[in-house]
Amino acid sequence: MSAAIVTGGSRGIGRGIVLALANAGHDVVINYAANQTAAEEVAAEVEKTGAKAAVVRADIADAADRERLVAAAYDALGPIDLLVNNAGVAPSVRADILEAGEESFDRLVGINLKGPYFLTQLVARRMIEHGTPGRIVTISSMSAYTASVNRGDYCVTKAGLSMMTKLFAARLAEHGITVFEIRPGIVATDMTGAVREKYDRLILEQGITPIRRWGRPDDVGRAVVAVAQGLFPFSTGQVIDVDGGFHLRTL
C-alpha cells in the first residue's frame, strides 16, 4: 500500500484529498497547523476505509516543523511515495495592491510558497534516498493566472507554485519522480464561504464557468488520485485544471 503526506489535510480541499486517497487504498499522513480536532476526525474517517492514518501538527512555513513532519511521516508509514502540497492561506484582509502591507505578503509567501518549496525539497531527497518512484502534487489555484488586485499577495504565491512545479519536474524526472500542478477553480470551502453570494451569481447567472456549479473538494481529490495511481506515466510538469472550464476563453 502506498503512503502519502497531505499538508493542510484537516479541512476543505485537503480533507477531500485525504478521503479520496484513503478510499483508493492509500495510507495518509494528515498534516495540520491548528485544528487538531478536525484532523483527528478526518483520520477516523480514513481508518474506516481500512487505510492507515497519522496526524502530524506542523507549520510548513517553519523549517524545523517541516523536518519534523517528514521524519514523523516516515516513522509512521514508512517510505512516502506521494506528497500533496495543499496547505495555503488567504490574506486576512483583502487590500488593494496600492495599499497592502508587507506583513500579509510575508505571511502568504512563507506558508503558500516557501513552505511547499522546501518541503518538496525534503521529500524529494528522501524519495531519491529510498529509490522511491514517487509523485509530487501541488495544489495551486486559478489565481496563478487570474489577477485579483485586492489580494495580490495570494496571486503571486500561486503563480510561484506554478514555476515551482516546472522546476522540480525538470530536476526530478531522472529519478523517476513526476511532478504535477492541480489548479482548482471556485471550490466550496471555508475560504470561499465569505463570498458565496458573489460566486453564486457569477456561476449560476453569468456562467463564469461553463460547468455551472461550484467545485467540491472531492473534485480535486479525484484528480490527485488519478496522479497517485500512475495514470499519467508519460507526463510531468503538467497543469491539471479542476475549475469547471473557467480557464477557457470563449466568445
104 neighbors 24 (Cβ within 8 angstroms): no
What is the rounded CA–CA span in Å between residue 74 and residue 89? 26
Residue 4 backbone dihedrals phi, psi, to 5 degrees: -130, 150
Question: Distance (Å, rounded) from C-alpha 27 to C-alpha 2?
Answer: 6
Rg (CA), the chain: 17
Query: CA-to-CA distance for 185 and 141, rounded, in angstroms?
Result: 6
DSSP 173: G
What is the Cα–Cα distance from 180 to 169, expressed in whole angstroms? 8
Sheet holding 178-184, edge to edge: 53-57, 27-32, 3-6, 82-85, 135-139, 178-184, 238-242
Extended beta strands in the chain, E state:
3-6, 27-32, 53-57, 82-85, 135-139, 178-184, 238-242
- Is residue 154 annotated as part of the catalytic site, yes or no? yes
Which spans in 89-214 are helix H?
102-108, 115-130, 152-172, 196-200
Q: Which of 74, 117, 154, 199 is catalytic?
A: 154
3-state secondary structure of 134: coil
**All three cell numbers of 50:** 481500512
- Residue numbers annotated as active site: 154
